[in-house]
Amino acid sequence: MISSTNLKVKAQEFLKPLAENLGSVGISPNAVTVSGFILSLLSAFAIGSGEILAGALLFGLSGLCDTLDGILARVSGKKSRFGAFLDSFLDRYSDFFPLAGICHFAHTNGDSPLLLATLLTIAGSYATSYARARAEALGVECKVGLLERPERFFILLFALLTAYLFPALLLLAVLTNFTAAQRLICAARELS
């Protein structure tokens, strides 16, 4: 996998003071999680209506919330099993919304290659997430793979900010499904 560990640690250190301030005024990690979900939904509407830059900004803010909620949970001592579940649950929707916006944009503009690449990206993203969750439910750790959620986020954000939608979505279509296949192979090896 492309390692985002160092970037993640640096982002957490950078955002820790903001998380502490949010916690001090009583904002809960779950409120930040739900805010990210709403921002991602709004990004879909912006992207779908052709407001790609506005969609990118909303999507970027959604990603900020997604990073901040876990930091806030740790620094405020409000980590909970339900919070972890809610975060993972809403992450699936937050992953889907901007891609759905791109699908609508592609369909409206008659861009079949972009539509197909985006649909394949959706399939690969969900297969990747599902493979890990199902393997873990069967007692196997399956975190292998070239492209995880943070990398998918940054590639998609880059695509939206630069308007290089088709090349980025084509890359995501290939790499998300490749990652899903890597996890399938991992699970097959560990569960056989």
Instruction: Give catalytic residues, as residue numbers.
Output: 91
**CA distances (Å), origin 146, targets 19, 62, 76, 150:** 30, 23, 33, 11
How far is 18 from 181, CA to CA, in rounded Å?
A: 38
DSSP 27-51: --HHHHHHHHHHHHHHHHHHHHTT-
Q: How many CB atoms lie within 10 A of CB 178?
A: 14
What does the block give as tokens for 50? 């052709």
Residue count of the chain = 192
Q: How many CB atoms lie within 10 A of CB 172?
A: 24
Supply the DSSP symbol for 77.
Answer: T
